[in-house]
Amino acid sequence: MTGTERISPRFYVRDIPIYGDLILSPMAGFSDLPYRSICRELGSAISYTEFVPVNTISYQHKLTGRTLQRLRYKPEERPVAFQISGSSVESLVEAAKRIEALEPDIIDVNMGCPARRVYAGGAGAALLRDPAKIARIFRELTASVSIPVTGKIRLGWDAHHRNYMEVARAMEENGAALIAVHARTRDEDYSQPAAWEAIAEIKQGVSIPVIGNGDAITVADIERMLAETGCDAVMIGRGALGHPWIFQRLDRDQVPIEDKIAMIRRHLREMLGFYGNPLGLVLMRKHIPHYLKGYPNIRRLRYALLRCEDAETFHHLLDELAQLLSQ
């Protein structure tokens, strides 16, 4: 970050200055505190938590366990956005009021999750089928909490119901401070290209900041999305898995293997410190294929790392990997 960027925010989420144009996407199982804080350090401009179902917030006497763990953050991560997921106006408001006491900077509503287990209960992308309900959600939320309320959407439920402009206007007219847009419908998978023109249409149609999301895998993709859509920032999901350097505008092939292995070691330390042992190691293993993406002839070591059950052996395997790839 340059001195100019520190002085001049890229945009504001209501009254919160944002000093960058790249943001790690909230991803279940990946945007936890260990990885999220690494990406924030390397340039991600907002720290979004994994989404938290409101029923785990509203019906507990005290926030504990996995719920509280998802809402933990480091002070240096600010601005921090707590993302919540729910199906009813009342439950979303109750949850938001409760977690506001944990002092996040932003509360974000998940309206884009395409997972059946989420939308089957009326949460996530299911909300896109009812723009009037979305309007009530934002009207009630913005009246109930003192911090900005934002939302992440998709383009609609399916190709026959691409109602993203109606949803975006309902959000803005009822107090939303920012809209993040994954440029696919709920039923489109990654085999379909993201429709960036819809991001541009939303950006032109509202006066609040718009974050674009979808198919930003390389630095060239990032620059092209910014130029073609006019969005205020780019939210990166798949392109950031195992590659936190994307927030420094580096592509995967620009990062030396020595730096990648050093980051894997650091990431493991963060995971063990946050989750404990052995859970931290078990959860770390899913990151390995992403960090080592694109390297041929390492199948045996990759498999061994994915099956490894103790940290000391894990580090020995990394030593062996470093030696192999430096030849």
Annotated catalytic residues are 113
CB proximity list for 56: less than 8 A, separation 6 or greater: 66, 67
Question: Two tokens at 96?
Answer: 């938001």
Cα(40)–Cα(166) distance, rounded to whole angstroms?
Answer: 32
Pairing mode of beta strands 106-111, 80-85: parallel
Q: How far is CA 48 from CA 32, 86, 256, 292, in A?
A: 9, 17, 28, 25
Q: At what angle do helices 196-205 and 219-229 cross, to 10 degrees?
A: 40
Query: Which candidate, 216, 220, 224, places its Cα nearest to that of 240?
Result: 216
Query: Which candidate, 180, 216, 244, 218, places its Cα nearest to that of 34?
Result: 244
Dihedral in degrees, nearest 10, Cα atoms 78, 124, 29, 68: 60
